[in-house]
Amino acid sequence: MESFRQKLELVEWGTISQKIHSSDSRSIECALSREGSGGLDDFVALLSPLAGEEYLEEMAQLAHRLTIQRFGKVIRLFAPMYLSNECNNICDYCGFSMGNQIPRKTLSHTEILLESSALRKSNFDHVLLVTGESTNKVGVEYLFEAIKILNNYFANVSMEVQPLSEEDYCSLITAGLHAVLVYQETYEKVSYGKHHLRGKKTNFDWRLETPDRLGRSGINKIGLGCLYGLTRDWRTDSYFAGMHLDYLEKKYWKTSFSMSFPRIRPYEGEINPVVDLKDRDLVQLLCAYRIFNHELELSLSTRESPILREQLLPIGITTMSAGSKTNPGGYSVTDNSLEQFSISDERSPAEIALMLRSKGYEPVWKDWDSSYHGKGNNLSKVGYNSVTNKQNADALSSVS
C-alpha cells in the first residue's frame, strides 16, 4: 500500500527550494486571482520570498475573506494537559529530552482528575493530552485509561504523544480518542538526523508514516506541522508539510486536518534555532496555508506573544490554546520546574475569551466535530464508572 514516504522519496528538496525561490510576480498573481485553486503549484508561489516581500497585504486580505467565508468569526479553544515528562529520546531542542537533568513525573489517575477539575472550571471542553515518548511509563494501556477517564469530562479528547501502530490507534479510538497531533518536526532528513540523536524518534520513516496509520484507523482529525527553527529553509519545509496534507486529504477524505506553526521556545538545555522565523514570515505562512486550503484548521499556541496572537486572528486562525501549562500537573499544582518550554501568552482562559469577544469573535470551548456524538458532560454530572477506587472519587469530590 502506497504511503506518503514513497511519494516523498520521488521529490527532491533542492528542486522544490529552487521553484519557491524563483517564483515571479505572474505566478503569485495567478495564485491570488484563482484563490489557490492551482493546488501545490500555487502554494509554491505563495511561499516565495517575493510573495512575502511584495504581496503580503493582498495575501492577508484574501486569507481573511476566505476564513470568514468558511469559519465565520469563531475561535475554538483548547488546553494541553501534560500527563508525563518522561522520555527515552534525546532531542536537542526539547525540555523533556532524556539527557536533561530535570525532575520526572507521570500523573496518576487521581492527579488526572485534579487537572480535569481545574480545566473544567475554566470552561474547557476540549483537552489535548501531551507526553514525552516513554512506552514503559506512558504506554498504550496508560493512555487508554487516561482517555476513558477524560472522555467523561470533555467533549473532545485529543493527544500528542509518541507515534503508535494502527492497531493501537484503533484501540484508543474505542476509548474515545478524537484527534492526534503528530508533527514531523522537519521533512529534511539530514536536519532531522542532526536534532534527533537517540531513541525511537530517530526513525524518520516511522514518524513520517504515522498519519497514514492514523488515516487507516479512521481517526476524526489529524494534526500536522513543522517545528520552525530546526531547518534553515523553512519555506521548503512548509511546502512538504502542505504536500503531506494534500496527499492525506485525498486519501483519507473522511478525516479532517489541522496545521500548527510552533517556533522553538526557551527550555532546559536550549539550542539556538538555525533560522529565526520572523513574525512577518509567520504571517506569510498562515496566509499561504489558508489560500492553499480553505477548509484547513489553523492553530496557534501560547508559544506566541499576546500582541502577535491578536494580530494574527483575522488572517486565518481558527483554533487557539489558552492558559496553557507545559508541565505535568500544572493546572492543579503551582510548580514550573517540569516545563517542556516557556509560554509567551500567560493570560487566563477567561481573559482570552474576553479578548476574543471584544474583537467580535465567539469563543467555542470544544471542537465542533465531536459535539454531534453526544460525548462529554459537565463535571458535576459525571459518575465514577471509569474510576472505581475510593481514592480517586475522594480526590474529585475534594476539588468540586
Q: Is the pLDDT of residue 185 over 90?
A: yes
Count Cα atoms within 13 angstroms, Cβ side, for 46: 35
Give the pLDDT of residue 398: 41
Tens of pLDDT, residues 342-392? 679 999 999 999 999 999 999 999 986 554 554 444 333 333 233 333 344
Give the pLDDT of residue 1: 65
Tens of pLDDT, residues 283-298? 999 999 999 999 999 9
Residue 344 and residue 333: Cα distance in Å, rounded?
Answer: 20
Question: Residue 58's domain is classified under what CATH number?
Answer: 3.20.20.70
Give the pLDDT of residue 272: 82
The residue range of the domain holding 164 is 4-376+385-399
State the pTM of this model.
0.90
Tens of pLDDT, residues 101-114? 788 999 999 999 99
Instruction: Assign 122 a pLDDT band (cuts: 50, 70, 90).
Output: very high
Q: What count of other Cβ atoms lies within 10 Å of the Cβ of residue 205?
A: 12
Instruction: Indicate the number of domains in the chain.
Output: 1
